[in-house]
Amino acid sequence: MPAAYLVPHPPLLVPGVGQGDEIPQTRAAYETVAAETAALHPETVVIISPHSVMYADYIHISPGKSASGSFAAFGAGHIRISAAYDDELAARMEDAAKEAGIFAGTQGEKDPSLDHGALVPLYFLKSPRIVRVSLSGLSMTDHYRFGMCVRQAAESLPRETILIASGDMSHKLKDDGPYGFAKEGPEHDAFVQECICAGDFRKLMRIEPSLCERAAECGMRSLAVLAGYLDGWKVESRLLSYEGPYGVGYLTAAFSGDEKAPSLLPDILADQNAAMEAARAQEDAFVRLARQNTEHYVQTGQTIGLPDDLPEEMLQRRAGAFVSIHKDGNLRGCIGTIEPVQDNIALEILANSVSAAVHDTRFDPIAADELEKLTYHVDVLSPPEPIQSADQLDVIRYGVIVSRGNRRGLLLPNLDSIDTVEKQISIALQKGGIRPEESYGMERFEVKRHS
């Protein structure tokens, strides 16, 4: 029967980095996990870490025969851990992922050193061999499916394997925490605990990507891999501990498969399709025009004509507009105009939706097989107005434009993870190629967001 554990990775748990008793509930839970895993006598532990090599569209499996690392980044370089790799299981996982159409493998390792997402669990858990796996920018569902591949690979070999999903919950639980406070932080962590206590992975997989983004978590994709690893089993789950004394949520839980059960993947995919259909049903004319034009252009190379039923505002008014395209909660393209360059808003949307889909140099052009997974936002801008200081900004209400000569950078308001004016200005400066020490002008603007 499969067994898996969700563990956090605060280095403070390790004596020599901290005192070892700063997070007492978590340490006690780790001792429980250590005792239980030792009783299982695993020959291989698969560790999913959010701090290993990470790519946008590729799940990295650490290659080689072994690796080591230390806590030098946390002031304790004398504490080193080495681990042998199960390269046979890693190869089987790569093969299973390839067969499932998931981009995963051992190519492109930039740093072979063990990261703290793996080091902290390994300090407590003893295993003859490990396989270290990174996360990626792929969707929660892709990570779930990869977890199914891990299980398939493990079952193809005659040895006991357990999975450790390393990851912290929200980093925004306290004002004096490392990332400050956001109301979504406690909301996120409460939702995850509720799902774990109920053993409800289907509900867990319905979590809103924007909630994860605003909560600043690093454990959800690890947990998705764990859930996929247990797919096809009736799951018994136990919440071992949860605490957040330093503004970061540390959650420890144990999972095991008691008996065979139908796969949850069809239900998860059906839930996603239903959510997408519901979102499409609520589109207004702005978003619908951006979506229909993007779909038509990607499939035919041509823009659509203007529909007959557009609101007068879109046909009679001129304004700058940004079209943002997202896939699985991640930005897939965003292009816009600060001031109008077309005869009306509708034509502005047509031009900018094409640019966002195929001309945003940060991303590959959108392919036809991605279209059904995309969501859209259209931001219509008010005319910019000059401001004299950052005190006149509000990250929720106002976007900002910074300029020096012909260099110009813009950031829209009310963006996930942009919670301070300082961060808003800093990113706008980066986008404009303006150094913070240079003098620059600022303007602010408001938007009407259609999503």
Whether the Cβ atoms of residue 103 and residue 61 lie closer than 8 Å to each other: no
| H helix or E strand, kind and range, residue 404 | strand 399-404
Average pLDDT across the chain, whole number: 95
Instruction: Give per-residue pLDDT as tens, 426-441.
Output: 999 999 999 999 999 9
Beta strand pairing call for 330-336 and 44-49: unpaired
Instruction: Give per-residue pLDDT as tens, 293-343.
Output: 999 999 999 999 999 999 999 999 999 999 999 988 788 999 999 999 999
Predicted confidence band at 103 (pLDDT cuts at 50, 70, 90)? very high
Please, how many CA atoms are within 13 Å of residue 350, restricted to the half-sphere of its CB? 18
In percent, how much of the chain has pLDDT > 70? Answer: 100
Measured CA to CA in angstroms, residue 112 lies from 67, 81, 107, 309, 357 at distances of: 7, 13, 12, 57, 35
What distance in Å separates the CA atoms of residue 158 and residue 173, rounded to the nearest whole number? 43
Pick the CATH number of 382-451 from 3.40.50.1980, 3.40.30.10, 3.30.1490.150, 2.40.70.10: 3.30.1490.150
Instruction: Give per-residue pLDDT as tens, 168-187.
Output: 999 999 999 888 899 999 99
Query: What integer pLDDT is reported at residue 423 of this predicted model?
Result: 92
Query: What integer pLDDT is reported at residue 286 of this predicted model?
Result: 97
Whether the Cβ atoms of residue 224 and residue 143 lie closer than 8 Å to each other: yes
Torsion angle defined by CA atoms of residues 55, 60, 65 and 69, in that order, rounded to the nearest 10 degrees: 50
CATH of region 3-270: 3.40.830.10
CATH 3.40.50.11540 fits 283-374, yes or no: no
Whether the Cβ atoms of residue 239 and residue 255 lie closer than 8 Å to each other: no
pLDDT above 90 for 46: yes
Instruction: Give per-residue pLDDT as tens, 194-235.
Output: 999 999 999 999 999 889 988 999 999 999 999 999 999 999
Query: What integer pLDDT is reported at residue 128 of this predicted model?
Result: 87
Query: What integer pLDDT is reported at residue 279 of this predicted model?
Result: 86
Looking at the chain, the domain(s) classified CATH 3.30.700.20 span: 283-374
Looking at the chain, the domain(s) classified CATH 3.40.830.10 span: 3-270
What distance in Å separates the CA atoms of residue 182 and residue 185, rounded to the nearest whole number? 5
Query: What integer pLDDT is reported at residue 451 of this predicted model?
Result: 84
**440 C-beta neighbours (distance < 10 Å), count:** 19
Looking at the chain, the domain(s) classified CATH 3.30.1490.150 span: 382-451
Single pTM value for the model: 0.88
Whether the Cβ atoms of residue 228 and residue 196 lie closer than 8 Å to each other: no
In percent, how much of the chain has pLDDT > 90? Answer: 88
